């Protein structure tokens, strides 16, 4: 029912935000899966580390930017004065996630440099998995709109 009363000018910013968030979730899950697969596939560890790094560079970074720009854009239109609590969850995950993604990118680059072997390669899927869980919590908060 809420979508029926939403002004048409809100459609594009909301679409940009949701599309960016969906791609970010999928790309981060891809990095986690590739990282965990690299741990069990010794011969293909370097290839999977490269897949994880390229996914980070070409999918996670642009989708995080689109998600964040869309979030700020729609927030300015929908809640110009007072923001609800569930919106704070989304901003906390996106801003805190930026720091986690910086660490993920650095560790992914180190992992590729060391041919997918070492502590950096072991940390990449763990950090990506943590961020997937955080994104799932934000996803729930954005859709359920608790309290």
In the chain, what are the helix, strand and coil shares in percent, each to the nearest 5? 90, 0, 10
pLDDT digits (tens, 9 = 90+) for 3-12: 567 778 788 9
Separation between Cα atoms, residue 128 and residue 68, nearest integer Å: 18
| Average of per-residue pLDDT values in the chain | 90
- At 147, is the pLDDT very low, low, confident or very high (cuts 50, 70, 90)? low
Find out whether 50 and 112 touch, Cβ atoms under 8 Å.
Answer: yes
pLDDT of residue 4: 60
Nearest Cα to 60, choosing from 111, 20, 18, 116?
20
pLDDT greater than 80 at residue 144: yes
pLDDT digits (tens, 9 = 90+) for 78-130: 777 777 888 889 989 999 999 999 999 999 999 999 888 889 989 999 999 99
Q: Sign (positive/negative) of CA torsion 138, 87, 70, 66?
A: negative
Delimit the domains of the chain by residue range.
9-144
Its pTM stands at 0.90
pLDDT of residue 3: 54
């Amino acid at each position: 029912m809420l979508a029926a009363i939403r002004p048409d000018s809100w459609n594009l910013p909301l679409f940009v935000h949701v599309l960016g968030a969906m791609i970010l979730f999928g790309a981060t899950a891809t990095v986690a899966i590739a990282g965990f697969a690299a741990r069990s596939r010794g011969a293909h560890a370097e290839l999977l580390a490269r897949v994880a790094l390229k996914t980070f560079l070409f999918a996670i970074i642009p989708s995080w930017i689109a998600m964040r720009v869309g979030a700020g854009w729609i927030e300015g239109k929908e809640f110009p004065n007072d923001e609800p609590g569930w919106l704070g969850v989304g901003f906390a995950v996106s801003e805190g996630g930026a720091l986690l993604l910086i660490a993920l990118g650095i560790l992914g680059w180190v992992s590729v440099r060391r041919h997918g072997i070492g502590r950096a390669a072991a940390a990449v899927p763990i950090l990506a998995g943590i961020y997937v869980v955080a994104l799932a919590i934000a996803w729930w908060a954005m859709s359920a709109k608790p309290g």
